[in-house]
């Protein structure tokens, strides 16, 4: 594959300004309340990006900034169709970001040491939510052996300098356990208003010990700056919260998540926020829970990992994590079938490429994986249930799936092989009528 290197990355702020120049950024004409109004307006204008001032904070908010793949592609300076390959290239070719001096880092233009989260533009999204939530925060943490890790964690504000964070048993959780086993506490930095490469890398699942910031840097070059706690953060971010993961636990939730249904309340770790750094005139990034932007950031980074696994067993032509499947539970995978069992092998590989995937449909490359009517047509005309549907019982599923067991995550998974048997290609060809100029006839 050809090398894909761009020299300069675009910061969160520069992208907001670019969209504004192009007339693609909506401006709310009056100040919004953080209580429900911000969320309601973001929802109403989806997927158009919106900038607004808020009543309860001096800082502005922006949302729906990356609510479509087109917006993501525009920010990365590529075509929508190139995104999966761009991300795969970044995963396979991580590179070291440039570290700059503090004086060169806009994010350090201002530092608040007397933290008061009630003054921050953190919205209450729905009346039944457990509290206001930071939704766009990418947590950066260091481990002595594993190095750096990036991951998203929603955070519910529970005090002036305290949040309770949803931390699934993945890498950050492992870092916490490791430092606590040695009697320490984990320092973290939470980035809000992170550039698109950091957002995508933060949502990418790679092996522990792989530094997602290096993936971000290959996706688009980034400058970082070192904080007092030793953590390097994007130098051009809007906000960075410094924090410590305490041993205290509190109720986290209820929270309306990706699926549009309520996630349960759980005992989760409390994070103490010790400092807030921000650029001049900063903009807080709001990721509307269950909204289009949330879906894009969740689903997109799973497409390259599925692509990679499927490509190991047969030629993969594309992956679509579908919006209707909450951009998490469903995928359509295109293959160039060469062996009769390629469809079945692709199903197993797709599940390996995204552990939370529940249903997957494999199609031939004559089907447009982004057109769900075509995918359904393939299921309708090419599938025999007793031959092509594979059911896997008692699998580990997603904590976001309300139909899975919320404690054990037990779920069934289904793979549908909607590809055509190799020797019957002709029978399944989609025939078309001849194009005609109707003006000659009517």
> Cβ distance 148 to 227 under 8 Å?
no
Q: Residue 277 interacts with ligand FMN (CB under 6 A)?
A: no
CB of 147 vs ligand FMN, minimal distance in Å: 11
Nearer Cβ to ligand FMN (194/416): 194
Count of other CB atoms within 10 angstroms of residue 112: 15
Q: Residue 98 interacts with ligand FMN (CB under 6 A)?
A: no
Q: Is 214 helix (H, G, I), strand (E, B) or coil?
A: helix
What is the per-residue binding string for Mn ion in 141-170, x denoting contact by CB under 5 A? --------x---------------------
4-12, 101-109, 291-299, 331-339 -> range binding ligand FMN (CB under 6 A): 291-299
DSSP assignment letter at 32: B
Nearer Cβ to ligand FMN (19/297): 297
11 binds, among Mn ion, ligand FMN, none (CB under 5 to 8 A by kind): none
| Identified catalytic residue from 236, 257, 342, 388 | 257
Distance CA 104, CA 202 (A): 24
Nearer Cβ to ligand FMN (263/342): 263
Q: Residue 153 interacts with ligand FMN (CB under 6 A)?
A: yes
> Cβ distance 66 to 199 under 8 Å?
yes
* Residue numbers 9-28 binding ligand FMN by CB under 6 A: none
* Residue numbers 196-225 binding ligand FMN by CB under 6 A: 202-205
Nearer Cβ to ligand FMN (356/419): 356
Out of 65, 83, 167, 179, point to the residue binding ligand FMN (CB under 6 A).
167
Count of other CB atoms within 10 angstroms of residue 325: 21
Distance CA 318, CA 5 (A): 22
Asked if residue 254 has a cis previous peptide bond (ω within 30° of 0), the answer is: yes
Residues 6+ apart with CB under 8 A from 397: 356, 358, 404, 409, 410, 411, 413
134 binds, among ligand FMN, Mn ion, none (CB under 5 to 8 A by kind): none
287 binds, among ligand FMN, Mn ion, none (CB under 5 to 8 A by kind): ligand FMN
142 binds, among ligand FMN, Mn ion, none (CB under 5 to 8 A by kind): none
Q: Residue 171 interacts with Mn ion (CB under 5 A)?
A: yes
Residues 6+ apart with CB under 8 A from 387: none
Out of 5, 99, 168, 265, point to the residue binding ligand FMN (CB under 6 A).
168
Which alpha helices (H) appear in 165-324, and where do they start and end?
Answer: 171-181, 196-202, 212-219, 292-299, 302-313
Q: Residue 152 interacts with ligand FMN (CB under 6 A)?
A: yes
Out of 11, 64, 142, 149, point to the residue binding ligand FMN (CB under 6 A).
149
CB of 319 vs ligand FMN, minimal distance in Å: 17
Out of 11, 142, 151, 224, point to the residue binding ligand FMN (CB under 6 A).
151
* Residue numbers 55-94 binding ligand FMN by CB under 6 A: none
Smallest CA-to-CA distance from 52 within 226, 267, 236, 286 is with 286
Count of other CB atoms within 10 angstroms of residue 14: 14
Our answer to whether residue 342 is catalytic in this structure is no
Residues 6+ apart with CB under 8 A from 236: 11, 12, 13, 14, 105, 106, 107, 195, 222, 223, 279
What is the per-residue binding string for ligand FMN in 293-332, x denoting contact by CB under 6 A? -x--xx----------------------------------
DSSP assignments along 369-422, one per residue: TT-HHHHHHHHHHH--HHHHEEEEEEEE--TT-TTS-TTT-EEEEEEEE-PPPG
- Residues at the site binding Mn ion, with contacts judged by CB under 5 A: 149, 171
Interacting residues with ligand FMN (CB under 6 A): 149, 151-154, 166-168, 170-172, 202-205, 287, 294, 297-298
Please identify every residue annotated as catalytic. Answer: 257
């Amino acid at each position: 594959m050809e090398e894909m290197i761009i020299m300069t990355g675009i910061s969160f702020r520069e992208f907001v300004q670019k969209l504004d120049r192009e007339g693609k950024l909506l401006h709310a004409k009056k100040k919004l309340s953080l209580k429900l109004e911000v969320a309601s307006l973001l929802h109403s204008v989806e997927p158009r990006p919106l900038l607004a001032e808020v009543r309860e904070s001096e800082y502005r908010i922006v949302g729906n900034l990356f609510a479509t793949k087109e917006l993501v592609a525009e920010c990365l300076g590529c075509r929508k169709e190139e995104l999966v390959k761009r991300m795969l290239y970044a995963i396979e070719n991580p590179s070291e970001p440039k570290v700059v001096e503090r004086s060169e880092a806009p994010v350090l233009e201002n530092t608040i040491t007397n933290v008061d989260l009630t003054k921050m533009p953190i919205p209450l999204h729905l009346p039944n939510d457990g509290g206001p939530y930071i939704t766009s925060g990418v947590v950066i943490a260091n481990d002595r052996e594993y190095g750096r890790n990036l991951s998203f964690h929603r955070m519910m504000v529970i005090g002036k300098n305290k949040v309770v964070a949803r931390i699934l048993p993945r890498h950050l959780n492992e870092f916490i356990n490791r430092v606590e086993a040695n009697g320490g506490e984990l320092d973290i930095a939470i980035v809000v208003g992170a550039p698109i490469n950091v957002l995508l890398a933060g949502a990418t699942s790679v092996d522990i010990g792989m530094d997602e910031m290096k993936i971000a840097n290959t996706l688009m070059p980034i400058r970082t700056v070192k904080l007092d706690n030793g953590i390097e953060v994007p130098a051009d971010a809007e906000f960075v919260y410094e924090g410590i993961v305490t041993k205290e636990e509190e109720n986290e939730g209820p929270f309306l998540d990706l699926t549009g249904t309520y996630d349960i309340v759980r005992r989760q770790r409390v994070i103490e926020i010790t400092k807030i750094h921000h650029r001049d005139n900063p903009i807080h990034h709001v990721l509307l829970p269950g909204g289009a932007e949330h879906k894009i950031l969740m689903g997109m980074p799973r497409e390259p990992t599925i692509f990679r696994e499927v490509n190991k067993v047969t030629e993969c032509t594309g992956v679509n994590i579908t919006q209707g499947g909450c951009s998490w539970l469903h995928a359509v995978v295109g293959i160039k079938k060469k062996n009769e069992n390629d469809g079945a092998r692709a199903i197993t590989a797709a599940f390996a490429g995204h552990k939370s995937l529940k249903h997957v449909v494999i199609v031939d490359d004559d089907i447009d994986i982004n057109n769900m009517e075509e995918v359904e047509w393939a299921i309708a005309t090419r599938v025999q249930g007793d031959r092509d549907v594979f059911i896997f019982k008692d699998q580990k599923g997603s904590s976001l799936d309300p139909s899975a067991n919320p404690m054990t995550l037990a779920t069934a998974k289904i793979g549908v092989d909607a590809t055509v048997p190799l020797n019957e290609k002709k029978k399944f060809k989609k025939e078309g009528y001849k194009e005609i100029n109707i003006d000659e006839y009517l």
